[in-house]
Structure 1
Amino acid sequence: MLDFKIDQKKCTRCELCVNDCPVGIIRMGDDFPHIPEEKESACIGCQHCMAICPTAAVSILGKVPEDSQPVEGHLPDPDQLETLIKGRRSVRRYRDENLDPQLLQRLLDVAWHAPTGVNARQVRLTVIDDREVMQAIREETMEALGEVVDRDALPNNRLMFAAFVAAWRDKGVDILFRGAPHLLITSTPKKCPAPKEDGLIALSYFELFAQSLGVGTVWDGLAMWAYTELVPHLQSRLGIPEDHEIGYMMAFGPPAVTYPRTVQHSPALIARLQK
């Protein structure tokens, strides 16, 4: 049941909810908006109707507008947001300590608000939230990769992993995870409309919010290659369901380095269509 409700004392019958519904199932009745029972199954649960109502008259799915956060007057300054995006850095040096659990939970809660294809909202956020657990995963992964190297079973396009294993064995240097105390993995059921894209978008949201709070992040393509190509049996060790597709992986934690300024990239590659 959608539990679509209109507070008739607040509703001005402006029809914004009717016109903004992505699947067009809200109808304007004799007096107030409603959703015909036969149309309820088409709802994708986006809550646009509740978000757009200027008088907070719409409730749906058991959600009431009073529990939502106001947007007007609470958005970041555009110049600051621009600096955040331009100043984002891949952090490859971390302090050996856990993030505060409340801070980590806040990061995950915000990342969960990232958009998904057809509002499927089935991205699984698998997180290693303790540095001791991360150390165990690190050791198991490097041991498994070492076995692949010892069997001379690395594919030609992944021969660099032999150097990663040697650095770990000889010096205890962790190139794969960059010594980060935490790891975040997104995965989504393969049957979802956009399984890989959903995970990538969630990590993008996670990264920007994390860096705004002083948390370092790095897109971990090396770990991605390892777990999807070289030691895929370890996906079960990470708790990834068999019917899921991994979106991507991100190492993160308290950074051991700061970057006082942005970098300067070449001009954007822009193509404009002509009439």
Structure 2
Amino acid sequence: MIDFCVDESACIQCGECAKDCVMGIISMDNGVPEVPAAKEAQCIGCQHCMVVCPTGAVSILGKKPEDSLEIAGNLPTADEVEMLLKSRRSVRRYRQENVDRAVLARLMDVARNAPTGKNAMNLQFTVVDDMATMQAIREATYAGIDELSKGSGLPAGFEFFGTTAKLWNTRKVDILFRGAPHLLWVTAPADSAAPEADPMIALSYFEVMAAALGLGTVWCGFAKWAFTQVLPEMKGRLGVPENHTAGYAIMFGYPDVQYCRTVQRGDQKLHTVSF
């Protein structure tokens, strides 16, 4: 049951919910919107019917419109969004302290609102929320790399990981994790509709919101490779399901650096299609 409910005293019979239904299962045949029982299974749970209703007459899946955030008057300006995006930097210097729990909870709530293919909402957000735990993962990763280097050898193409372990062991230089106190690894079931794209979209939401909250981030391919290619046993140790793709990881925390202006990017190729 999708619990599609209409407050007929508030409904103005505009039909917006039916027009915007992704699956086209909302009927206006009887004046007010309804979903035939035989079509309920086709609902993908996008909630568009609820959020497009101008009078807040539609509820679905136990969700009520009054519990949603109102959009009108609450959006940032284009200039504010542009500045946020252009001022964001890859941070590789972090303060050694945990991110406030309330800040982290808000950040994760926004990230988990990211869209997914077919509205599957089946991503796993694996977060290291305590710097002591992150330090234990760091130590275990470098120890595992060091053991491989001295034993059976590192996987082909990943021999350079041996240098990262040497730098950590001799100078405590953390190339892999950039000294960050926290990590987020987002993965998706391999059989989902968009297993490669969905984690990237979610991490992009995370990155932008993190910047708005004053946090630093850096996309971390080294962590992804370490946990999936060099030391694949780490995937299970961190609680990521075996049937999930490698996804991607971001390191984050309070930055120990302050940037004063935006960089001046070189133009990337823009191709306008003529057909």
Q: TM-score, normalised by structure 2?
A: 0.97
SS of match in other structure, 2:147: helix
Conserved 8 A contact 2:117-2:194: yes
Conserved 8 A contact 1:126-1:184: yes
2:12 is equivalent to residue 8 of structure 1: no
The CA distance in 2 between the partners of 1:268 and 1:77, in whole Å, is 25
The CA distance in 2 between the partners of 1:7 and 1:246, in whole Å, is 45
Structure 2: unaligned runs, 5 residues or longer: none
Displaced runs of 4+ in structure 1, greater than 4 A?
Answer: none
Q: Which residue of 2 aligns with 1:185?
A: 185
- 1:229-244 equivalences under 5 Å are 229-244=229-244
Q: Which residue of 2 aligns with 1:245?
A: 245
The CA distance in 1 between the partners of 2:150 and 2:200, in whole Å, is 33
SS of match in other structure, 1:33: coil
2:104 is equivalent to residue 104 of structure 1: yes
Give the Å deviation of 1:191: 2.0
Q: Which residue of 2 aligns with 1:40?
A: 40
Q: Which residue of 1 aligns with 2:25?
A: 25
Conserved 8 A contact 1:183-1:250: yes
The more displaced of 224-233 and 112-121 is: 224-233
Structure 1: unaligned runs, 5 residues or longer: none
The CA distance in 1 between the partners of 2:112 and 2:234, in whole Å, is 25
2:92 is equivalent to residue 92 of structure 1: yes
The CA distance in 2 between the partners of 1:60 and 1:117, in whole Å, is 20
Q: TM-score, normalised by structure 1?
A: 0.97
Q: Which residue of 1 aligns with 2:128?
A: 128
The CA distance in 1 between the partners of 2:249 and 2:271, in whole Å, is 31
Give the Å deviation of 1:189: 1.7
- Percentage of identical aligned residues: 50
Give the Å deviation of 1:156: 4.5
The CA distance in 2 between the partners of 1:141 and 1:268, in whole Å, is 36
The CA distance in 1 between the partners of 2:3 and 2:152, in whole Å, is 60
Could you tell me which amino acid in structure 2 is paired with residue 269 of structure 1? K
Could you tell me which amino acid in structure 1 is paired with residue 133 of structure 2? V
Pairwise CA RMSD: 1.1
Give the Å deviation of 1:147: 1.3
Give the Å deviation of 1:152: 5.9
Could you tell me which amino acid in structure 2 is paired with residue 199 of structure 1? P
Could you tell me which amino acid in structure 1 is paired with residue 161 of structure 2? F
Could you tell me which amino acid in structure 2 is paired with residue 72 of structure 1? A
The CA distance in 2 between the partners of 1:147 and 1:196, in whole Å, is 31
Could you tell me which amino acid in structure 1 is paired with residue 34 of structure 2? H
Could you tell me which amino acid in structure 1 is paired with residue 228 of structure 2? T
Q: Which residue of 2 aligns with 1:150?
A: 150
Per-residue CA deviations over 1:167-216 (Å, capped at 9, x if unaligned) read 00101111110110100011122221112211111111000000111101
SS of match in other structure, 2:136: helix
Give the Å deviation of 1:40: 0.4
Per-residue CA deviations over 1:70-91 (Å, capped at 9, x if unaligned) read 0011011110110111111010
